[in-house]
Amino acid sequence: MVAMSKDLIKDSWLTEQEAVLLIKTDLSGFLNEFNPNQLCVPGLQVRNPTTINLQDTYFDSLSLQLGNAQAALRLRKERDTLLLGVKQGDCWTASGVSRIEAEEPWSANGVATILHYLDFMGVNLTHPGVPIGSAEPLSILSLMGLKPIQNRSLKRILWPIFDRGNQKICSLSLDFVTLNLSNGPVKFGEIEIELVDGPVSTIKSLFDALIYNYPKLLQPWRYSKLQTGTAIESLSKSTDGSIVNENGELTLTNISQIEKLLKKPHR
């Protein structure tokens, strides 16, 4: 059997392409005003939405191997399904962000596959040494030298977007995020436009339409949820008062503070 080079394997990975906007008003008020069917983008049709609930936990090693490799490892739960996923290589442009990603069901084969992907990324973790099904996922990941670094719940309202040929080309999601911090939960909201099968220009067209229709309610956001959550936690620990309003939502003033933290160069 001939081993494939790392470059060839990376070329076979899926690429995620999306654009993100942050909601800068109260979430319930935004939900009352937001109507994707009013977006005027020639050739695109917005179909009926579905709602899903997700529980996400991110992990890193004690030596922060994943963070140093600019990678993210996520355990996601949706109903009775568990998925282990890894992302790396965020590349932000005017059209949004592209990154490589891999996601596998939580199983012996799935965990082994993700370990291989991590190895290609320069992150070397060891097999837990016990059967994957012999303990809870958190225990298994702990045996691999990993610890949770962020936990959040996510309510996602998802609108599929189709073209004139009745082909699904992207999805538009309204994400209500609850970041579970040690000193209490913090809520914030985002809109994501993710490419499914179409030109990248589709994302830019929808992005521009959203900004045009909701200029006071949305702002472009060039950061992942993991990055945003990390900055929120840092601000929460360094601030004497609360960073949320009476509904537990991140305030507009603190959104500005979060953005300042995220813009600081990383050493």
CATH number at residue 87: 2.40.320.10
Residue 100, domain member (yes or no): yes
User: How many domains are contained in the chain?
Assistant: 1
Report CA-CA distances (Å) from 256 to 178, 222, 253, 263: 19, 13, 5, 11
Digit-coded pLDDT (tens) for 83-142? 999 999 889 888 789 999 999 999 999 999 999 999 988 999 988 889 998 999 999 999
Q: Are 158 and 172 in contact (CB under 8 A)?
A: yes
193-197, long-range: CB within 8 Å, 24+ apart, which pairs?
A: 193/18, 193/19, 193/20, 193/96, 194/16, 194/17, 194/18, 194/170, 195/17, 195/18, 195/169, 195/170, 196/168, 196/169, 196/170, 196/171, 197/167, 197/168, 197/169
192 vs 199, residue with greater confidence: 192
Residue 80, domain member (yes or no): yes
pLDDT grade for 266, boundaries at 50, 70 and 90: low
89: left (phi over 0), alpha (psi -120 to 50) or beta: left
Please give the residue range of the domain that contains residue 45.
14-263
Residue 2, domain member (yes or no): no
Residue 8, domain member (yes or no): no
pLDDT score for 39: 87
Alpha carbons 60 and 74: distance in angstroms, whole number: 9
- Computed over every residue of the chain, the mean pLDDT equals 91
The type of residue at 216 is K
Residue 9, domain member (yes or no): no
Residue 204, domain member (yes or no): yes
Digit-coded pLDDT (tens) for 154-180? 999 999 999 999 999 999 999 999 999
Residue 3, domain member (yes or no): no
Residue 120, domain member (yes or no): yes
pLDDT score for 3: 41
